[in-house]
Structure 1
Amino acid sequence: MKAYRLLTEDDTSAFCHKVTEALNKGWALYGSPSYAYDESTGKMRCAQAVTKEADGDYSPDVKLGGL
């Protein structure tokens, strides 16, 4: 199965740590990062898609963060 996640976080080092952790768990970057202003919080937000090949079949019950 090929898994997909979209990692998001405020524009702080926490975002970089979240992406770095995913990369070290075998996820691969997918596309370019995004950067946008979140009017509801008044902060910039970052997003990065990642993918990973995993054993088993896809089900909506799969906990993607645990792969």
Structure 2
Amino acid sequence: MKLYRFLTGPDDASFCHKVTAALNKGWSLEGSPSYAFNAATGAMQCGQAVVKHVEGKDYDPDMKLSEQ
């Protein structure tokens, strides 16, 4: 099964740590990162898609992807 997640967060070290944690759990970067201004908070937001192949499991919409 192939899993997809889109990680988002503020433009600070916490976002980099979130992506780094995913990479160290076997996720891979997918596509280019995104960067946008959030008018509601007045801050820049980052986004990065990550994917992961998991053998021997079937997709279930109730699964928590971050725990895979």
SS at 1:18 equivalent: helix
Any idea what the Cα deviations from partners look like across 1:15-64, whole Å, max 9, x if unmatched? 10000000000000000000000001100000000000113111111110
Structure 1 stretches of 5 or more lacking a match? none
Q: TM-score by structure 2 length?
A: 0.95
1:1-67 paired onto structure 2 within 5 Å: 1-55=1-55, 56-67=57-68
* Percent of residue pairs identical: 60
User: What is the rounded CA distance, in whole Å, between the counterparts of 2:26 and 2:46 in structure 1?
Assistant: 21
Aligned residues: 67
User: What is the rounded CA distance, in whole Å, between the counterparts of 2:54 and 2:33 in structure 1?
Assistant: 23
Q: TM-score by structure 1 length?
A: 0.97
AA of the residue aligned to 2:44: M
Structure 2 stretches of 5 or more lacking a match? none
